[in-house]
Amino acid sequence: MHLKINQNFKDNIDFIKSSIHNFKSTGKLFGDGKRNSIKLFELNGKTINIKSFKIPNLINKIAYKYFRKSKARRSFEYATILLEKGIGTPEPIAYLENYNWLGLKDSYYASEHLDCDLTYRELVEIPNFPDHENILRQFTQFSFHLHQSGVEFLDHSPGNTLIKKSVEGFYEFFLVDLNRMTFHDQMNFDQRMKNLSRLTPQKGMIATMSNEYSKLYTAKTEAEIFEKMWFYTQEFQDKFSRKQRLKKKLKFWKS
């Protein structure tokens, strides 16, 4: 077993260990648990969540022991880096890895639990969501800050940014599901635009984001930003559609 804990929670190490050890029988289930299981626990009046990552296949069991960092460890380390860069994410608390002779058995990531007002997904699915355009523009500013900080969030998708209303007209943004991330000294134009390609298929939202991004990224015109962002969005949507069609065919042949 390997446990790493945030020093702010060092006095709670026994509680963290016990919660993980008894993960299957304790805690309150959060989410659908289709891929990874998340449970909520109460700690000194604060809600924390612990994610149990899907048990890796044989190849990844070996890889995560000898060649790659586990998803739990990456989540903890990336959250720490984000906070150091002034980027919102729930405070990391700990990660724990269990190994056997073959490789990684299972792994867990504990963090602060945030109750959000919405995610980016609501902006996509509810066109008349209150203060829609203002939130979208502030989200674009947040994404620009990510890019300026050299953060390429590879899972920058609709459900992975929690949005909280702070004061009237202003919002805070917090990244979750952090295990896929690349850090750069500087991100080029194509990297920036491609990083925004998974968020929405709606051309109007892309136009608004392009307009806001162009106010901050003066190396390109609004038209150039829109053209490139829309190009990568269409490319992603085409790949996603093909993948969904293939899944349906495979499901049909299996049935």
Residue 32: per-residue pLDDT: 73
Instruction: Please answer whether residues 248 and 241 qualify as being in contact, where contact means their C-beta atoms are separated by less than 8 angstroms.
Output: no
How confident is residue 207, by pLDDT bands cut at 50, 70 and 90?
very high
Residue 245: per-residue pLDDT: 72
How confident is residue 222, by pLDDT bands cut at 50, 70 and 90?
very high
Q: Which two tokens stand for residue 172?
A: 């805070």
Q: What's the whole-number mean pLDDT along residues 149-173? A: 94
How confident is residue 55, by pLDDT bands cut at 50, 70 and 90?
confident
Residue 242: per-residue pLDDT: 83
The mean of the pLDDT values for the chain is: 93
pLDDT score of 253 more than 70: no
Residues 5 and 76: their CA atoms lie apart, in Å, by 9
How confident is residue 1, by pLDDT bands cut at 50, 70 and 90?
confident
Residue 181 β-bridge partners? 153
Residue 243: per-residue pLDDT: 76
pLDDT score of 125 more than 60: yes
| DSSP letters for 4-15 | EE-GGGGGGHHH
25 C-beta neighbours (distance < 10 Å), count: 6
Q: What's the whole-number mean pLDDT along residues 213-219? A: 97
Q: pLDDT tens digits, residue range 19-46?
A: 999 999 999 999 876 778 999 999 989 9
Which range among 24-28, 194-198, 229-233, 246-250 shows the weakest confidence by mean pLDDT? Answer: 246-250
Q: Cα 47–156–118 angle (5° rounding)?
A: 45
Q: Which phi-psi region, left, alpha or beta, contains residue 237 (left: φ > 0; alpha: ψ -120 to 50)? A: alpha
Residue 167: per-residue pLDDT: 85
Residue 39: per-residue pLDDT: 95
